[in-house]
Amino acid sequence: MTALLSDTADLAAERQNVIQLVGVTKSYKSVDVLKPVNLDIRDGEFLTILGPSGSGKTTILRMIGGFTPPSSGRILLRGTDIAQVPIFKRPFNTVFQDYALFPHMTVARNVGYGLRIRKTPPAEIKSRVQAVLETVNLADKAGRYPAELSGGQRQRVALARAIVCEPQVILLDEPLAALDAELRRSMQEFLKDLQRRIRTTFVFITHDQEEAISMSDRIAVMDHGNLVQVGTPEEIYYKPKSEFVAKFFGENNILPAAAKGQASGIESPLGRHSASSAHQGELLLAIRPESFRLHDGSEMRADERMAKARLDAVTFLGATTQLSLAIGGLGGAAGEHRVKVRMPTALSIRNLAVGSDVMLRWSEADVSFLPKG
């Protein structure tokens, strides 16, 4: 019975993961461009690989696609190693940044290309191309050539060409990087909506944090060839596991902190927080500007903390207002730290006097402690 149960559990786990990278590395000559990467990509998810230029994103995508082999480690497709499977036999399609459309072919012929290669009957090609062009809102452009299309339309042709073959996974290497800001935003929405409709796994690369947060089910963050954290946008944003991730996404307050043992907790310029056994020695405290509020005299919840701060500046930003504050040093020592607080704009906040003291309130749950250095 136990064996049967664990078999069933294994099957469920295999169904969940469409691709698994197990200890995958890549070196060129003696340079390690990718440290061992372990990453599970789940069936039907929109997974984004995010990181600065040169961090190894394209290298990961090229290895999944079969364009280059790993130096070590294994890539599994639904539990089976695909090291020996050539590019054209992998059930993936890739959308490149430059679209790579055939200039001498019409939109319809570009989109049907993969089906012709697979010797799909002409009548079926015609109907599938038609259906996919409707999906990407290009049904009326079937007879045009790439040069007669806008950048966004060419991008959608490239997407249509990738989805028409009904791949199990679509690999997208910075497909929006060449578009101007406005078109880029509308293509982000289009792409996310398309992924929901066709329910295909998307592995999407970008170096743009906001793009990653707004589009992804999960984000894999890369830094110098290391996969540093994988999680939902909320986890990555509010529960960073390193200083790099804490600083990479939007504004954050990073302050020194020191663990004094599980009983006495963690000391910081924001006072004392509870520690777990994982916290030791010098640390960094991270808390988002929007995680603070001003003390209004109401009763504190058990998980709440409070600290006095001096208001240095109030900046009106439209819907939100930013407060810049000064707080004391670690353990009450001299040496001031700055904290940024952001809250919905209200008259009571805009009227706060610069130079006055305010009481900040926040929840322990909104604080992350990170290893230092």
Can residue 94 be called a binding residue for ligand ADP (CB under 6 A)?
A: no
Can residue 28 be called a binding residue for ligand ADP (CB under 6 A)?
A: yes
Query: Contact, 138 vs 156, CB < 8 A?
Result: yes
E-state strands within 4-87: 17-28, 31-42, 46-50, 72-77, 80-81
Can residue 53 be called a binding residue for ligand ADP (CB under 6 A)?
A: yes
Contacts of Mg ion in 54-93 (CB under 5 A):
58
Can residue 54 be called a binding residue for ligand ADP (CB under 6 A)?
A: yes
Q: How far is the CB of 107 from ligand ADP (least distance, A)?
A: 29
* Joined tokens for residue 312: 């240095």
Q: What is the DSSP string of 217-260?
A: SEEEEEETTEEEEEE-HHHHHHS-SSHHHHHHSS--EEEEEEE-
Q: Tell the burial category of 202 from Cβ atoms under 10 Å away from its Cβ (0-12, 13-18, 19+).
A: buried
Residue at token pair 């169904």: 15
CA atoms within 13 A on the CB side of 169: 28
Can residue 48 be called a binding residue for Mg ion (CB under 5 A)?
A: no
Nearer of residues 25 and 93 to ligand ADP, judged by Cβ: 25
Residue among 327, 281, 336 nearest 305 (CA): 327
Nearer of residues 67 and 145 to ligand ADP, judged by Cβ: 67
Q: How far is the CB of 74 from ligand ADP (least distance, A)?
A: 19
Can residue 30 be called a binding residue for ligand ADP (CB under 6 A)?
A: no
Nearer of residues 58 and 195 to Mg ion, judged by Cβ: 58
Can residue 69 be called a binding residue for ligand ADP (CB under 6 A)?
A: no
* Joined tokens for residue 283: 């640390």
Q: How far is the CB of 30 from ligand ADP (least distance, A)?
A: 11
Can residue 25 be called a binding residue for ligand ADP (CB under 6 A)?
A: no
Query: Contact, 270 vs 305, CB < 8 A?
Result: yes
Nearer of residues 175 and 328 to Mg ion, judged by Cβ: 175
Q: How far is the CB of 176 from ligand ADP (least distance, A)?
A: 15
* Joined tokens for residue 181: 């800001």
Give the C-alpha separation, 229 to 105, whole Å. Answer: 42
Nearer of residues 28 and 316 to ligand ADP, judged by Cβ: 28
Interface pick for ligand ADP out of 56, 231, 269, 328 (rule CB under 6 A):
56
Can residue 58 be called a binding residue for ligand ADP (CB under 6 A)?
A: yes
**Interface residues toward Mg ion, by CB under 5 A:** 58
**Interface residues toward ligand ADP, by CB under 6 A:** 28, 33, 51, 53-59
